[in-house]
Amino acid sequence: MASMCTKVWCIVVLLVVLQALTVREAEAVTCGEVVSAIAPCLGYLRNGGSPTTVCCNGIRELLRNKARTTTDRRSICNCLKSASSSYRGVSGSYAASLPGKCGVNVPYKISPSTDCNRIQ
């Protein structure tokens, strides 16, 4: 009987773990979230100066709170690269300096040449 209880308990634990993993997958960062976060930054990305508070709040939320896993960080990187080619007039140097201007440390260069697959 104890053996049967142990098996049932193991199955319950396994199901809980699988459910947690499924929920985490559903919470993965989307390109829509990335675009929404950087949209208030377009003025800065095109013209320089100082990024707005709304811009920096979005960047901080994206890079500090949503980039929790390697998959999230790589997704954000790929979305940023895709978005940078979609918006005309975006300066690469302004894009690279944006995290620092908003007080966020990013351990890789924000650039179209960044290999997102190397991000941990």
pLDDT at 13 over 50: no
Whole domain around residue 109: which residue ranges? 28-118
Please answer whether residues 76 and 29 qualify as being in contact, where contact means their C-beta atoms are separated by less than 8 angstroms: yes
Share of the chain above pLDDT 70, in %: 78
pLDDT at 102 (0 to 100): 96
> Does 8 reside within a domain?
no
What's residue 59's pLDDT?
Answer: 94
Q: Is pTM, for the whole model, over 0.75?
A: no
What are the pLDDT digits (tens) for 17-68?
A: 444 444 445 568 999 999 999 999 999 999 999 999 999 999 999 988 899 8
Structurally, how many domains does the chain consist of? Answer: 1
CA angle 120, 111, 30 (to 5 degrees): 60
Q: What share of the chain is helix, strand, coil (3-state, %, to 5)?
A: 70, 0, 30
Residue 58: CATH number of its domain: 1.10.110.10
